[in-house]
Amino acid sequence: MVIEVHDLVKQFNGTTAVDRLSFTAQRGEILGLLGPNGAGKTTAIQMLLGIIEPTAGSIRVFDHDIATHRQAILQRLNFSSAYVSLPQNLPVIDNLRVFARIYGVRNWREKAMGLLRLFEIDRFATRKTGQLSSGESTRLHLCKALLNDPELLLLDEPTASLDPDIADKVRKLLRRIQRERGITVLYTSHNMREIEELCDRVIFLHHGRKMAEGPPREVIAKFNQQSLEQVFIRIVRDGELQSADQKSEP
Amino acid sequence: MSFRRITALLLRYLLLYRQSWTRIMEIFFWPVMDLLVWGFLTAYLLQFGYNRVPALITFLIGSMIFWDLLYRAQQSVTISFLEDVWARNLLNIFVAPVTISEFLTATFTLGVIKVLINGLVLAALAWLLYAFDVFQLGFTLIPFVLSLMLMGWAMGMFTVALIMRWGHAAEALAWGIPFLVQPLSAVFYPVSVLPAWLQPIAWALPSTYVFEGMRQVLATGQAPWQMFWWSFGLNLVYLVASAFFFRHIFTLVRRKGLLAKLGME
């Protein structure tokens, strides 16, 4: 098992962001973490990365506890998010050079150029990162995330700022790389079609709680809906109703 | 600690300078301006023909150079951290297998480089413009500079911890903290000038011993070894205290999710 999360809880000043979340991810699996804003997806990913400390529960990655083996775990995974950037004033190749050195990548230039070619942005290698379009910048983040040949990739809304054409290209490329290398991917997105296309299994979160889990088709069937988007809407609205009911109870 | 990861972080900061003339100019601009202002001020005072003015010139210029070294050492730690905050690169760094001690060591090393470059440029300018030879301090220059660097690192760690805890609202502290210390460090005047109740506070700062010691060397030519030891002893205390404070705050911000928030804002 690549990820084993058991009874994970995170509270911020009395507000529960993640509520007794348990899940696993196997080698080579793409697991989608879905939910509305504030569902706890990003908090869960950040606990997996060890930058947020859980209130309770355990996280094991590569059979090691993140609390005690954080550095060794981080060496074997990587992360990309639409909400973080690489230094804008450095050339593309220099950004990759720095991270290649951090991760101890051999033949870094060859590796970096190979990834830039793969994502069709090699012609921008010497250009300043700040001069890239958001699509090119997202692809650069994915190059950074693949530099250390990660066994686990945590992608937090990686296609959030992309137009449909580039998003489609990135998804296909990610799927190809993931299959070729057997990478485990934990993926969050608001784009349900993207999740349906990409993920082997999905977990729906609402108010930090797991509301549903399974392969996209099974989840769609279980909720008697036509698409994940409809499941999403139903879970969110039912969840709101439940919350309202609980609040109105004497 | 990994030497490779430390040099990788150092490379990241140094590459920024390779890419930007404005950044390179920024290293020299403020110290040179300070040097000019203090130099012209003392030249103006010289016109009044006070007997002690020539000594005053050396004190002021020496103090200004030393103050700048302390300031640069603190800035290298805080601004390096802020560069990653501003670039929204902080999470990329902290989700990589970089330890806090590696991150801090890289910023400390950057401080050494900046202090050496700054020190040499200021020393050359002071000599050219005002015939002030900083090397007249002789061997004492080494422990003086080292002591200021250690204090700069301690202040830098403390400042970064505050920025981690209070986020963007605390960014101004990166520039403010050194100036909180400056009046108490007896940079441009002796401790005896301070009110009696402030003097014990001044003597609790390592920098005070350096500036008083520097004046003593310039005035008498005698190396004030006792002041060195006090300065180093206090630096050790401040460094250990800052490291504990930093660690405590780092644990706290991980618990509160503030590091992630700062990295994504």
User: What pLDDT was estimated at residue A250?
Assistant: 47
Q: Calculate mean pLDDT across residues A118-147.
A: 93
- Interchain CB contact of A131 with B (< 8 Å): no
**B121-165: pLDDT as tens digits:** 888 888 888 777 878 777 778 888 899 999 999 999 999 999 999
Task: Indicate yes or no: CB of A101 within 8 angstroms of CB of B4.
Answer: yes
**B109-131: pLDDT as tens digits:** 998 898 888 888 888 888 888 77
User: What pLDDT was estimated at residue B34?
Assistant: 82
What is the value of ipTM here, to two decimals? 0.87
Q: For chain A, what is the domain count?
A: 1
**A177-196: pLDDT as tens digits:** 999 999 999 999 888 888 88
- Closest-CA distance, A236 to chain B, in angstroms, reads 25
Q: Calculate mean pLDDT across residues A208-230.
A: 89
- Interchain CB contact of A85 with B (< 8 Å): yes
Which band of pLDDT confidence, cut at 50, 70 and 90, is reported for residue B52?
A: low
Residue A243 has pLDDT above 80, yes or no: no
Residue A240 lies in a domain: no
- State chain B's mean pLDDT as an integer: 87
- Interchain CB contact of A9 with B (< 8 Å): no
> Which chain A residues have a beta carbon less than 8 Å from that of B4?
101-102, 104
Pick B263 or A216 by higher pLDDT. A216
User: What pLDDT was estimated at residue A241?
Assistant: 52
Residue A51 lies in a domain: yes
Enclosing domain of residue A121:
3-223
Q: How many CB pairs under 8 A join A and B?
A: 100
Nearest-CA residue of chain B relative to A95? B12
User: What pLDDT was estimated at residue B53?
Assistant: 58
**B219-254: pLDDT as tens digits:** 887 878 888 999 999 999 999 999 999 999 999 999
Residue A156 lies in a domain: yes
Residue A171 lies in a domain: yes
Task: Indicate yes or no: CB of B264 within 8 angstroms of CB of A84.
Answer: yes
Residue A148 lies in a domain: yes
User: What pLDDT was estimated at residue A96?
Assistant: 97
Residue A92 lies in a domain: yes
Pick B259 or B239 by higher pLDDT. B239
Residue A205 lies in a domain: yes
Which band of pLDDT confidence, cut at 50, 70 and 90, is reported for residue A146?
A: very high
According to the 3-state scheme, what is the secondary structure of chain B? CCHHHHHHHHHHHHHHHHCCHHHHHHHHHHHHHHHHHHHHHHHHHHCCCCCCHHHHHHHHHHHHHHHHHHHHHHHHHHHHHHHHHHCCCHHHHHCCCCCHHHHHHHHHHHHHHHHHHHHHHHHHHHHHHHCCCHHHHHHHHHHHHHHHHHHHHHHHHHHHHHHHHHHHHHCCHHHHHHHHHHHHHCCCCCHHHCCCCCHHHHCCCHHHHHHHHHHHHHHHCCCCHHHHHHHHHHHHHHHHHHHHHHHHHHHHHHHHCHHHHHHHC
CATH classification at residue A68: 3.40.50.300
User: What pLDDT was estimated at residue B54?
Assistant: 59
Among the partner residues A50, A84, A101, nearest to B263 by beta-carbon distance: A84
Residue A247 lies in a domain: no
Residues of B with CB under 8 A from a CB of A: 4-5, 7-9, 11-12, 15-16, 19-20, 83-84, 87-99, 251, 254-257, 259-260, 263-264
User: What pLDDT was estimated at residue A94?
Assistant: 95
Among the partner residues A43, A72, A84, nearest to B92 by beta-carbon distance: A84
**A22-78: pLDDT as tens digits:** 999 999 999 999 988 888 999 999 999 999 999 999 999 999 999 999 999 999 999
Which band of pLDDT confidence, cut at 50, 70 and 90, is reported for residue B49?
A: low
Residue B78 has pLDDT above 90, yes or no: yes
- Interchain CB contact of A74 with B (< 8 Å): yes
> Which chain B residues have a beta carbon less than 8 Å from that of A12?
256-257
